[in-house]
Homo-oligomer: A and B are copies of this chain.
């Protein structure tokens, strides 16, 4: 009933209020010092950036709010959704129209010099799982008027961040209560082999990141190897490569390739962690079927099947759209799916 009341009241307020006075949230940049990256060999700094969206009324009131932690996509920093995608307007409107009750959204930087941390824990890149599930949560609960319990914490991730959201729910259980992954990657292998993507010759010859130029696949996979095939003390990148050569001369190391897949792919992690996902108040993910990389589509379909097989309640929706097309747009996935999901799945009341 409370949900209905919120919606009704907000709708009426919206209708009677002058447009000029429409409620707006506020953005607050902040930083967190973390020891999770001590000794890392990838150039990750200890001071991590973050940004919080505080809903309209936050400052005037004393209420506590749930927090949705937003995990950015590869190559995006913590501000990209606000600076580029208009996320603040989406949140303002969704709260104003009662799509979701007022909440705090926190976005942090999960990038490494090579690209992405893959939201993983590695001796080369640091303990990103701990940073997210412990340090960041503690910092946010300490700084803002949050509802400081799992039932009121959500994870919302965008593509690579969607991967991070599901991964973190499996590997750091008991911290977050609901997960929404927008078009996650890394849920499984698709039609092409993983080892066919990077240029191993270029990777093997490179002396620094600059030598990779704008070879996107090689950069992404280097980040993956730093996360999942770390080899501390082996310059320049401190990784093992799961293969060498290219095309007809590709030579695969089956042991390293298997180790990479077992550590990286969510469908390999799931069998041992299904219970952690079952314990969530809500799990949802989606993907656009016209992603130019069909591997993502095929892998997400199969991952949805594996969740079903293991009895993990979830919503998994394939929609008309391509890679990231409709996440923060008006009427897009965040507004019509993710925020209503967090409206249903999180607890909004103090106990």
Contacts and interface: CB of A to CB of B under 8 A. Distances in A.
A320 B314 contact: yes
Interface string A1-41: 10011011001101100000000000000000000000000
Contacts of A205: none
Interface stretch (A48-56, A109-117, A140-148, A287-295): A287-295
A316 B319 contact: yes
Of residues A272, A274, A311, A319, which shows the largest number of chain B Cβ atoms within 10 Å of its Cβ?
A311
A325 B248 contact: yes
A297 interface: yes
A271 interface: yes
A304 B11 CA distance: 35
Interface stretch (A74-82, A130-138, A163-171, A252-260): A252-260
A194 to B, nearest CB: 6
A274 B254 contact: yes
Interface size class of A (residues with CB under 8 A): 35 or more
Interface in A246-295: 248, 250-255, 257-258, 261-262, 271-272, 274-275, 278, 289-290, 292, 294
Contact of A271 (B258, B274, B290): B258
Interface stretch (A58-66, A152-160, A185-193): A185-193
A238 to B, nearest CB: 24
Contacts of A191: 294, 297, 305
Nearest to A255: B275
Contacts of A127: none
B310 A257 contact: yes
Contacts of A312: 254
Contact of A311 (B7, B251, B319, B325): B251
A195 interface: yes
A193 B316 CA distance: 15
Contacts of A292: 192, 196
A210 interface: no
A252 B290 CA distance: 16
Interface in A314-334: 314-320, 325
A243 interface: yes
Interface string A165-203: 000000000000000000000000101111110000000
A94 interface: no
Interface string A300-311: 011011101111
23 contacts: A1-B15, A5-B15, A7-B8, A8-B14, A189-B305, A191-B297, A192-B292, A193-B305, A193-B309, A196-B292, A243-B311, A248-B325, A250-B311, A254-B274, A254-B275, A257-B309, A257-B311, A258-B274, A261-B309, A289-B305, A316-B320, A317-B319, A317-B320
Given A193-B309, A257-B311, A316-B319, 20 more contacts: A4-B14, A7-B11, A8-B11, A11-B11, A192-B292, A193-B308, A243-B311, A250-B311, A252-B310, A254-B271, A257-B309, A257-B310, A258-B274, A262-B271, A289-B318, A302-B302, A304-B320, A315-B320, A317-B317, A317-B320
